[in-house]
Structure 1
Amino acid sequence: MNFFEAKIIKTVKETSDTYSYIMETPEGFAWKAGQHAMFKFKDYDVADEKKERIFTIASAPEDGFLMFTTRISPEHTDFKEILLNKVKVGDVMLIADALGKFDLEMDKYDETLIIAGGVGITPIRSLLKHYAQDNVPAHRITLLYSDDRGEFAYGEFWNELKAQMTNLQLHLISDRDEFTSLIDKYAKEKLNTSEYLIAGSPGMNAAISEKLQSLGVEKDNIKTDNFMGY
């Protein structure tokens, strides 16, 4: 497997337990918004059985840098321990070729509902940053970004994005009942004229997909992106 060397240029604490790692884009490395890649350390030994991790690339090609974001809980792997307490600016991450397809289909649908939970927001940041460069006012995008603790990654990015994307309706939600209610309301109104992108844990994705289908949304109109091992 081919790996590219990506130098860390900045680390950001996004929430109380969520961190972003920003790197220079290696020469020859390319990716599309919404893709993921395998990352590993160049200069640190990992005590875990798995020496590498798959992360969504949270930056879009238009950002001009590579970024992944991960949640580090109090009980975490040695890989996460290295990220939390050892990695510093100037260190090098090794990154494999980008993979996956998780994208909007603006030519097929009138509208898009994006449902993101917690760190599942990472591919959504990438996608919306990409589409903000080519704003399509006629295609309405609604983003429901939920976090039970009310801690939302990327801070000021959302205000900048709203200023660029006149077709974006953004909801940052910490109340689970409100989250469910907004999904129900949207699906009943738009049904199959909209596409539905869901990005969260496998359990969340399955539950929301099942709920949408029970409301009459066809399975082919629902796309999911599971984050695992974050």
Structure 2
Amino acid sequence: MVKYRLKITDIVEEAFGTRTYFMDMPEDFLWDEGSHVHIGLAGYDAGEKPVSAWVRHMSIMTLPTEKKIGFTTRKRENCSEFKERLFDSKVGDEIVVFKPGSRMGLRREKRPVVLISMGVGIATMRPLVLAYNKDGKDISQVLNINVDASGEFLYRNDLDRISCDTYCNYWLDGREKLYELMDGPFIPENAIYYLVGSDTFLIDLIHRLGKNGIPIEDIMIDKKPEFMSRFLMISPGEFNVLL
């Protein structure tokens, strides 16, 4: 396993408690749109045993053509040790990047694509949108839907600048508005759905899409395959009870 020890080159305050961290891209580190990577804080592997609490799986919110590796994360109250240490980091500090993977690459099947994300989950969707804008081959339409109750929509200025007749953004401040949109006439038929958000968000949407006749193979989530079968076995109400 190759580990890249990179310096933070820029930190962007996207919204309250939400930051994007950038590192320069090594020439031999490449990835596809929708990829994730492991981010380790400096010193996580300095001892005999790695400190797992200092490592997190993050979506890469950039494309290789941007020559930067970027990831966006949000810090909330009672956050993890990883988030506390990360938010104390400064430009010039080291980040360890390793073990990239992809489960969310664009499927070019001459069909529409619907991207639905919750909050900072749009970090996964940004490179999908940019890849489509660069090359829309075999994708008939893209809808990008982001739900954020705070109303502070990440990357909105950049994504709203995309001028394309077959691309549209929806910025929604509540799930009820999402449900109305999903049941309305603006969602294209025969679409492939990409979902990113909390487990409760994913379970809810997977079950809603299933009731609307969407085949499970047309629902993409950024998790290992076994998670989908688990989510299908739990109804949204049951999941809330388990919590």
Settle same-fold status: TM greater than 0.5.
Answer: yes
Q: What RMSD, in angstroms, separates the aligned Cα atoms of the two structures? A: 2.5
| Paired residues for 1:64-103 under 5 Å | 64-85=67-88, 87-103=89-105
* 8 Å CA contact 1:113, 1:142 repeated in 2: yes
Greater relative contact order (Cα < 8 A, sep 6+): 1
Provide Cα deviations, 1:59-99, integer angstroms capped at 9, x if missing partner: 111221000111110211222112212x1111221111311
Q: After the TM superposition, which parts of structure 1 deviate over 3 Å for at least 4 consecutive aligned residues?
A: 135-138
TM superposition shift of 1:42: 2.4
Looking at structure 1, the residues matched to 116 and 40 of structure 2 have their Cα atoms a distance apart, in angstroms, of 29
| 1:2 Cα deviation from its structure 2 partner | 2.1
Contact 2:35 2:101 in 1 (8 A): yes
What is the aligned-residue identity percentage? 25
What residue is the counterpart of 1:172 in the other structure? 171
- Once residues 19 and 201 of structure 1 are traced to their aligned partners in structure 2, the CA distance between those partners, rounded to angstroms, is 19
Amino acid of the structure 2 residue aligned with 1:41: L
Structure 1 residues not aligned, in runs of 5+: none
Is the Cα–Cα contact under 8 Å of residues 9 and 24 in structure 2 kept in the other structure?
yes
Shift of 1:123: 1.0
Residue type at the aligned position of 2:4 = F
* In 2: Cα distance, 1:152 partner to 1:31 partner: 25
Unaligned runs of 5+ in 2: 224-243
Q: Say whether residues 1:28 and 2:28 are aligned partners.
A: yes
1:196 aligns with 2:199: no
Map 1:117-128 to 2 at 5 A: 117-128=118-129
Partner of 2:17: 17
Contact 1:135–1:167 under 8 Å retained in 2: no
Q: What count of residue pairs does the alignment treat as equivalent?
A: 221
Summarize the Cα distance change of 1:167–1:62 in structure 2 as closer, same or farther, 3 Å threshold: farther
- Name the TM-score, length of structure 2 as normaliser: 0.82
User: What SS is found at the alignment partner of 1:139?
Assistant: strand
State the shift of 1:43 in Å: 5.1
Distance 1:42 1:75 in 2: 22
Q: 2:233: which partner in 1?
A: none
